[in-house]
Each structure stands twice: as structure tokens, then as C-alpha cells.
Structure 1
Amino acid sequence: MRLGNTIARQRLHYRRPLPTLPDVCLIDIPQPYASPSLPLGRYYPVIIETDVEWREWDRFLNIERQVPVAPDLFDRRPSVLRAGTITFAHYDPAASGCQRIRPTSPPSSSPGRSRSGTCRPPS
């Protein structure tokens, strides 16, 4: 089994609104794998800061596994982004150009670049 074809099959890419903020990949966990302990109900957010992390994330999702594992690859990794002040932002899919990610096509984390596909905010 591959996570990108099972528990992370449906995911949204919320592009960073500012260069000093990360991208967010929001996984819509299918019901058989969902748990009340998930941070956003059935959704699992993954914070991705660099193009290198996007490539690492794509490899992680496509490793052949015997059993599903939590997609917690970056959970304990320190941030590489630096800013002089704390910044809060609203990640709005319609305004940020978020894309529904297909399992076979990893996104570009470059802000402002558009890709084909549709994106809907979680309901």
C-alpha cells in the first residue's frame, strides 16, 4: 500500500500567502482511517516549508508499505523559515491558488504559480 493512494489520496495544497510562511498540504483522511484525535476532525495538516521538503513528502507518500502509517514526517522537525516578527495568516484556497493534488503529480511550492485542477475548501 502507498499512502498517496490510500489515506492521503485526497489532499489540498494551500500555497503560502507570504514568502516567510510555509505551504500547507491538507489531507482529507478517508473514513476507515479517520479518528477523533485528528487535529481538524478528519483532516490532517502537513506544514511544508521548502521544495526539498515537497520532494521528500512525495517520496514518503509513494513508498510501498505493508500497513498504513501516520503522515507525521515533519512533525518534530525544526522550522527552516526565519522572520523578524511572528506572522499570522489566513490560508484561503480561493485567494491563494490552492490546488487539489493528484497522487501522481507533486505540486510546485513556488508562490503564485498556478497548476491545472480544481480546489475546494474543506467543508
Structure 2
Amino acid sequence: MDVTSDNRSLRLPETLSRCMTTSVASAHNFELTRFSLLAVVGACKFVTSGTFSVDGHDWDIQVYPDGWKQEMAGYVSSVFLCLCGGATGVVATCTLSLLENGGGGGASVQQSLTHRFDTVGAYWGYP
């Protein structure tokens, strides 16, 4: 082996590979006016947004003003993102925000979540 002072013969060949993922971004605002009137509907009952589509997948947002389960009654609300139609196995990242009265004061609660939706009708969110 011929070793030179600049170590050229000791260099290993380099390779490179890359995994490219695609994503689509969208926003949907679901405004609940006069929320205090919804807070008396009772636990386990929800209101839903209109269905919206993102890259061929249909979604809606379900809000349970008085909690998702009976034992959660009294919580401000539970909120879920639901896959309503389209191909399954989709991974969605969403940010759910609860805004102050009137929407002008900024987010009082904001949470992000990522979930894989394997079946139509699957939902994920904050109980």
C-alpha cells in the first residue's frame, strides 16, 4: 500500500441517499359563537364543523362542550379531528387552538398533535 503524506489513499468512498416526504398544509377555522349556550348540552354530546378536504382526505372537527365522557363532565370541552373519507393510513399533524371570547385576544390554549389515521371514522384529539 502506497501511503502518501496527504492520506489520499486512506479516504473511503462516500455515498448519499435521501428520503423525501411530501406534505400538504391547510387551515380550517371552526367558530363556535355563543359557546356558553352549548355548554349545557351535556356530556357525550358534540357539535361538528363542516367537512373540509385536504389533499383528497375529508375531515371534520368534533367539539364536546361538556366533555367527551360522562366522567369528564364539567371540563371546558373535548376536541377531536376526525377522518371522514379518503384513503386511510394518512398521517396528519394539526394544531388545535381555543381562542378567547371574540377571537381577537390570541390563543388561550393551543396544542399540536400528530396521528396516523388507519380507518375512516378514526379520530384523535384532546378528551
User: Which interval holds the TM-score relative to the shorter structure?
Assistant: under 0.3
TM-score (norm. length: structure 2):
0.27
Where relative contact order (Cα < 8 A, 6+ residues apart) is larger, the structure is 1
Q: Which has the larger radius of gyration?
A: 2
Structure with more helix by fraction: 1
